[in-house]
Amino acid sequence: MPFSDGHMHPARSFQYWLKKECKLLGIDNVHPHRLRHALGHHLSADLGFDLLEVKEKLRHATVATTQIYAKRSKEEVDKKIDKEMYKNEP
């Protein structure tokens, strides 16, 4: 929704731009929040940032919100167990 001066809200402008660019690439159903979720998960699960660090990056008010992004899949847990306990590299 535009502001009273006719300019678009920056978040809406980014969302519009992102969807347009992805559509040109043949990628449908892209949402900025999904990118945010992917970043939170990547920082936590793939790069090993702790929840407080991810919380700060995503500018969450509480760690409870950040925990939603930090869930790991069974495969990720199994891979970490193999690496840490059995010293098997992926």
Each residue's pLDDT, cut to its tens digit, for the chain (90 residues) gives 455 566 667 778 888 888 899 899 998 888 888 888 888 888 887 888 989 999 999 899 999 888 877 776 777 778 878 888 887 655
Flag whether 57 is in a domain. yes
Flag whether 21 is in a domain. no
Flag whether 48 is in a domain. yes
Look up residue 24 and give its two tokens: 């040109």
What's the number of domains the chain is made of? 1
Structural domain for 66, as ranges? 30-86
If one counts every other C-beta atom within 10 angstroms of the C-beta of residue 37, the result is 14
